Structure formats: C-alpha cells, structure tokens
C-alpha cells in the first residue's frame, strides 16, 4: 500500500477556499466603500467622488459666469484683457524668434570652435605618430608611449569650458604586426558613440564627423557634441579618435537668456496692462459719471450736471451734455408748466360749468316732464335736450376725474369687497339693458369669492364700462363675465362675440376720446373717456387691464387685481383667448377663503 502523507493541497479544499472567500469578501467590501461596480463591468466613482466632481463643475460654472458678466459689463476689463492678450501673443512670437536666433548663433559659434579644435587636435596627434620611426622593429612599448603622448597633446589642444572626453579605438577588421589597446579618458560616454557615427568615421573621408548627443550628468540630460576622426599609427594600422564635448555651458547661457526674455516679457505685459487700465480709466470714469448723471436726470433730478475739468475731448463732451441737459430741462419745465395750466384750465372750466349746468338741468327736467303738453316738435326738442344734458353731465364728471389723474390727486377709499359679489351686482344692473339689446348676459364665478380691500366705487365704474361696451358691441350675441382667482391675483373677464377690432385698434382702445368706429350707432351714451379712466383705476389698485380682439370674433377685456400689496400681476388668473381658446378654469391653484 502507498503511504498516505499529509497533502497541503488536499487539506486546503473547502476550508481554505472558505477562508479565501472571506478574505476576498473583506477586500471586496473595503474596495466597494470607495468604488462601486457598474453594470457594464467598469468601476464608477462613489458618491463622495461624484459629489466632489459636481461641486467642482459648479465652481467652474460660477467662475465662468462671473468672467462672462465682467466681460459684458466692464469696458475696462475688456480693454485690458484684449490688450494683454494681443501683447502677450506679440511678446511670445517675438521672444520665440529672438530665442531661436540666439540659439542658432550660439550653437553655430560653438560648433565652429569645436570643429576647429578637433581638427587641430587630430593634426597634432597624427604628427606625433608620423614623427615616430616607421621601421618594423618599433616595439609595443614605444607605440603605447606615442599613444599616451597623443592623448596629452589632444587634451592640451581642446579648451572646452564644459569639459571633454577622449577615446582612441582601433578600427575593426584590420591585420597588422602590432596592435594598440583602446584608450579612453575616465568617464568617457561610450554609449553616445552610435554605430552610424562609427561607420562614418571608418570610411576615412579626410573630414571630421560630428554628431549632437545627450550626456547624462547625475540624472540630468545635458547637450553635447561628438567628433570623430581617423589616426594612422605606424605598424598598428588605422585608429579612430573620438572627442566628446560637453555643451552645458552654452545651454546655461541659453537658459539664462530664455529666463531673461520670459521675465522681461511678463514685466512688459504687466506694465502694458497697468498703462492700459490707467488710460482706459481716464475715459471710462467720465463715461460712468455721464451715465450716472443721465440716470439721475431720467429719475427727475433735472438739476444734475456732469463736472467739467480741463479742455480736452472729455471736457467738451461734458459741456455738450450739460448744454443738452439744460435745454431738455427748460423744455420739460415749460411742458410741465403748460400741462399744469391745461389741467388747471380743465378743472376750473369743469367747476365753473357745474353751476350753469345745474340750472340748465333743472329747466330741462321741467320741460321734459311737461313734454306731453307741447306740440310734437317742441316735445321732441325737450327729449333731445334732456338726453344731451345727461350726456353733458357724464362728460363733465369724466373730465373732472381725468383732471384729478393728471394732477395726481387721486386717492383710494378702500373697503372689504368680494369681487364675485361685486360682479354679480353689475350683471344684475345691466341685465335689463342686455335683454332690450337681445344679449344673453352670463355670469361665471369659479373663483373670486375671497374678501379683498378695494375701492368699490372705482371697481364698479370699471365693470360698468367693460360690460356696457360688451353689450353695445356684442351684436346680440352672448356676453360672458367670468370671475376667477389664484394665489396671487383675482381676475374679472368680460368677453363678447361681436364685431371685434383689429390689433392696431386694440392697441389704442385706452386712448382718450378715441373710438374704433365713430359712425357706429350707440345705444348707451359714452364720453370717450370711460376706458382711459378704467385703466387709471386699475393701475391705482396695482392691477392692469389686458385686451384681446379680432374682427368678427369679438373682444375680451381682463381686469387683474393683486391679492396683496407685495404681490404683482405678472400673470393673470384668466388667460387671454390667444393663450387659451377654451377657458376651463385658472391655471394656478385658487386660494379662496
């Protein structure tokens, strides 16, 4: 029977594999703490690494936005940046050209010097060998002595500041009576002598062979130049002379020149940047002052002027600007005075007309009440007089209101109001008129049931104008009044399906005394100031009135009022028809309480 010894491989089955699995599991868990295995088999970074990259991208994006903002907003930054960029490019091009020229000149001079020294050293060494006796009884000792003398002569004829290394090696493939051992100075870089250089030297063309090389100086790479030539040794045949020159001194010179050019170029760019910033500042500061003065004048401070210093072009510009500001200020003052005179005239005339109008109204009412006792022509005249006196009273009231707006003497008298209830009152007020005109007046109030502080008198006046105009121009088609609200505003829309207006007329609908169709017969006496006053009332509440109209499709007026003083009316709870042809409720969540 074979002996059953202890086999480590056998005992390392399940238990060893389990321990190995545990070790690999622990290693895997530690690895997965910073890396996770992607479904594609590639590792993807952990959450911390991804977060760092996101923050880095965010910082880069913010930095880029800041630079772009400065580039767009600052003339000085743009001027300095463009000047520095162009100057840096010019300095780089000129510096590179100068450096290349200096490098070529230094290398050419150093090469000519080395070539001259190498040729002289080769002639001296060959002369030492030629001076020896060419007899065949020259022994080995004499040849070695000549070889040493030639080496010393070569060293004495080479004066490279970086140092030189010399080697005298036998040309392969010769059979001579005697043979000299290869001779090389200490530390000769034999590795830089390439086979191509050896083959070129072995041809013995009578010329020197030069080859640029890289020398190892304590781990640093320094430039060098290897020169090869041929020596004929009596009784020993042809030998090759290699002289390796260290050009680190020339490289140091070039490095110094390069550093000097770099420092000078950077200093020049910085100096040009400073000079440019100072020059641009001389122009930008007055421009900024002019811009600030313009903003102040536009804000109503008509006495602001640009300080004038000196007699240069900037001073001429400042004087011209100040002269223009003086002329504009005088014209604005004259126009303001004329406007005040006109406002005062309208106000005075309106007040003065009240007394005779009251008298005419009393007399007209008496005639109107007694019209049945008059002849038909006189009765008709009494009716016309009564109608025109009423229209005159409305026109006078509207003129007084417009004069108050022009004088900025209008104030709100607010009270708690429910917009939906207010709209319902107006609809009921105009329902008899709508029935006489054959108009189906509809009220829809999905919102607007919240209580707001409004000037009820002015809101009623707005709605009377809008609903009355809709009935007047509705062509006996349904008129819909919709009240709705969202978290920011309450909107009241009045929509008819009548004649409508082209867009150019809709843009002028709020102008004073303007009518789209002056020849159209009116059933409701209007003064031509109703919509202008309505727009003023809406603006006084911080709201607005939007209008949409198309010929043959009708018109829609939307009054939008903010639900709070801090809330604007950038959006409306009721969109205009061109945004939503079928209104099906507000687009924002209503918050009616």
By the 10 Å C-beta count (0-12 exposed, 13-18 middle, 19+ buried), 458 is classed as: buried
- One domain for residues 406 and 478: no
User: What are the CB-based long-range contacts (under 8 Å, 24+) for 220-223?
Assistant: 222/162, 222/246, 222/247, 222/248, 222/251, 223/247, 223/248, 223/250, 223/251
Lowest mean pLDDT among 40-44, 140-144, 319-323, 496-500: 40-44
- One domain for residues 422 and 522: yes
Integer-rounded Cα Rg, in Å, for the chain is: 52
Count of other CB atoms within 10 angstroms of residue 494: 25
Tell me which residue of 560, 555, 531 sits closest to 545, measured CA to CA: 560
**Contact between 479 and 434 (Cβ < 8 Å):** yes
**pLDDT grade for 526, boundaries at 50, 70 and 90:** low
Q: What is the CATH number of the domain that holds 504?
A: 3.30.565.10
Whether the pTM exceeds 0.75: the reply is no
**Contact between 180 and 236 (Cβ < 8 Å):** yes
Identify whether 275 is part of a domain.
no
The mean pLDDT of 566-577, rounded to a whole number, is 73
Provide the 3-class DSSP secondary structure of residue 490: strand
- What is d(CA 488, CA 590) in angstroms, rounded to the nearest whole number? 9
Q: Write the pLDDT tens digit of every residue in 46-58.
A: 567 787 888 888 8
- What is d(CA 577, CA 391) in angstroms, rounded to the nearest whole number? 34
Q: Write the pLDDT tens digit of every residue in 365-396.
A: 888 888 888 888 888 888 888 888 887 877 77
- What is d(CA 428, CA 183) in angstroms, rounded to the nearest whole number? 127
As a whole number, the mean pLDDT across the chain is: 79
- What is d(CA 223, CA 243) in angstroms, rounded to the nearest whole number? 14
Q: What is the CATH number of the domain that holds 370?
A: 1.10.287.130
Cα–Cα distances in Å, from 211 out to 131, 191, 196, 252, 591? 30, 13, 10, 20, 91
Identify whether 92 is part of a domain.
no
Identify whether 56 is part of a domain.
no
Pairing mode, strands 452-454 and 441-444:
unpaired
**pLDDT grade for 136, boundaries at 50, 70 and 90:** very low
From 410, 442, 472, give the residue that closes a domain. Answer: 410
**Contact between 192 and 198 (Cβ < 8 Å):** no
- In our burial notation (b when 16+ CB lie closer than 10 A, e otherwise), range 9-44 reads eeeeeeeeeeeeeeeeeeeeeeeeeeeeeeeeeeee
Pairing mode, strands 479-485 and 209-217:
unpaired
- One domain for residues 432 and 402: no
Count of other CB atoms within 10 angstroms of residue 342: 12
Q: Where in the sequence is the domain holding 465, given as residue range(s)?
A: 415-562
Identify whether 518 is part of a domain.
yes
**pLDDT grade for 590, boundaries at 50, 70 and 90:** very low
- One domain for residues 342 and 440: no
**Contact between 576 and 554 (Cβ < 8 Å):** no
Q: Pick 224 or 175 by higher pLDDT.
A: 224
**pLDDT grade for 41, boundaries at 50, 70 and 90:** very low
Q: What are phi and psi of 562, to 5 degrees?
A: -70, 145
- Stated as kind and residue range, the H or E segment containing 93 is helix 75-131
- One domain for residues 374 and 419: no
- One domain for residues 460 and 349: no
Pairing mode, strands 237-246 and 220-233:
antiparallel
The mean pLDDT of 161-175, rounded to a whole number, is 79
- One domain for residues 515 and 545: yes
CB under 8 Å to 265, separation ≥6 — which residues? 88, 91, 92, 95
Instruction: Examine the pLDDT at 44 and tell me if it is beyond 80.
Output: no
Q: Pick 384 or 219 by higher pLDDT.
A: 384
- One domain for residues 419 and 556: yes
Beta strands in 396-472 (DSSP E): 415-417, 441-444, 452-454
What are the start-end ranges of the H helices in 490-552?
A: 503-506, 530-540
- One domain for residues 378 and 423: no
Identify whether 197 is part of a domain.
no
- One domain for residues 456 and 555: yes
Identify whether 422 is part of a domain.
yes
- One domain for residues 427 and 394: no
Q: Write the pLDDT tens digit of every residue in 51-103.
A: 788 888 888 888 888 888 888 878 788 888 899 999 999 999 999 999 999 99
The mean pLDDT of 562-578, rounded to a whole number, is 73
From 381, 410, 439, give the residue that closes a domain. Answer: 410
Q: What is the pLDDT of residue 426?
A: 92
Instruction: Examine the pLDDT at 593 and tell me if it is beyond 80.
Output: no
Cα–Cα distances in Å, from 331 out to 338, 343, 407, 578? 10, 18, 19, 42
From 410, 443, 466, give the residue that closes a domain. Answer: 410
- One domain for residues 347 and 425: no
Cα–Cα distances in Å, from 126 out to 22, 34, 117, 177? 79, 73, 14, 19
Identify whether 1 is part of a domain.
no
Name the percent of the chain lying above pLDDT 90: 15
Instruction: Examine the pLDDT at 591 and tell me if it is beyond 50.
Output: no
Q: What is the pLDDT of residue 586?
A: 39
User: Based on the structure, what is the number of domains in the chain?
Assistant: 2
Identify whether 542 is part of a domain.
yes
- What is d(CA 274, CA 518) in angstroms, rounded to the nearest whole number? 69
Instruction: Examine the pLDDT at 494 and tell me if it is beyond 90.
Output: yes
């Amino acid at each position: 029977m074979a002996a059953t010894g202890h086999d480590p491989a056998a005992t390392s089955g399940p238990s060893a594999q389990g321990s190995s699995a545990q070790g690999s599991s622990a290693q895997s868990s530690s690895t997965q703490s910073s890396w996770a295995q992607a479904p594609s088999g590639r590792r993807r970074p952990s959450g911390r690494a991804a977060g760092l990259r996101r923050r880095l991208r965010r910082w880069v994006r913010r930095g880029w936005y800041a630079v772009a903002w400065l580039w767009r907003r600052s003339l000085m930054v743009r001027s300095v940046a463009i000047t520095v960029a162009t100057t840096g490019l010019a300095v780089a091009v000129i510096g590179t050209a100068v450096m290349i020229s200096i490098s070529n000149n230094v290398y050419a001079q150093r090469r000519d010097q080395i070539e001259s020294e190498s040729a002289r050293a080769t002639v001296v060494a060959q002369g030492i060998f030629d001076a020896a006796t060419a007899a065949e009884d020259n022994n080995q000792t004499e040849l070695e002595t000549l070889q040493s003398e030639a080496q010393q002569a070569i060293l004495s004829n080479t004066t490279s500041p970086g140092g030189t290394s010399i080697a005298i090696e036998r040309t392969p493939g010769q059979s001579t009576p005697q043979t000299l051992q290869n001779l090389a100075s200490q530390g000769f870089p034999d590795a830089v002598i390439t086979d191509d250089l050896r083959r070129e030297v072995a041809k013995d063309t009578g010329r020197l062979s030069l080859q640029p090389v890289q020398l190892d100086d304590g781990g640093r790479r320094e430039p060098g130049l290897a020169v090869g030539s041929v020596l004929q040794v009596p009784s020993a045949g042809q030998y090759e002379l290699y002289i390796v020159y260290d050009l680190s001194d020339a490289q140091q010179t070039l490095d110094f020149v390069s550093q000097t050019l770099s420092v000078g170029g950077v200093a020049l760019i910085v100096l040009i940047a400073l000079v440019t910033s100072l020059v641009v500042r001389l122009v930008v500061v007055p421009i900024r002052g002019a811009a600030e003065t313009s903003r102040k004048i536009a804000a109503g401070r008509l006495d602001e002027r640009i300080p004038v210093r000196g007699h240069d072009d900037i001073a001429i510009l400042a004087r011209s600007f100040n002269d223009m500001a003086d002329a504009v200020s005088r014209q604005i003052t004259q126009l303001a005075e004329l406007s005040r005179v006109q406002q005062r005239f309208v106000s005075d005339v309106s007040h003065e007309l009240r007394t005779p109008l009251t008298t005419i109204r009393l007399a007209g009412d008496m005639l109107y009440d007694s019209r049945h006792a008059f002849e038909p022509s006189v009765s008709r005249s009494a009716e016309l007089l009564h109608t025109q006196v009423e229209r005159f009273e409305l026109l006078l009231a509207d003129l007084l209101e417009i004069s108050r707006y022009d004088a900025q003497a209008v104030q709100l008298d607010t009270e708690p109001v429910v917009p939906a209830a207010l709209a319902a009152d107006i609809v009921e007020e105009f329902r008899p008129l709508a029935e006489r005109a054959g108009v189906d007046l509809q009220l829809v109030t999905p919102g607007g049931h919240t209580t707001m502080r409004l000037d009820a008198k002015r809101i009623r006046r707005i709605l009377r104008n809008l609903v009355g105009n809709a009935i007047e121009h509705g062509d006996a088609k349904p008129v819909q009044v919709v009240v709705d609200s969202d978290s920011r505003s309450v909107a009241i829309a009045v929509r008819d399906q009548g004649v409508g207006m082209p867009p150019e007329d809709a843009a002028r609908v709020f102008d004073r005394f303007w009518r789209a169709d002056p020849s159209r017969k009116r059933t409701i006496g209007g003064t031509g100031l109703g919509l202008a006053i309505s727009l003023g009332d809406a603006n006084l509440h911080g709201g607005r009135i939007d209008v949409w109209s198309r010929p043959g499709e009708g018109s829609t007026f939307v009054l939008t009022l903010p639900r709070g003083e801090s809330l604007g009316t950038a959006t409306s709870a009721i969109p205009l028809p061109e945004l939503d042809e079928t209104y099906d409720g507000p687009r924002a969540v209503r918050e009616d309480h």
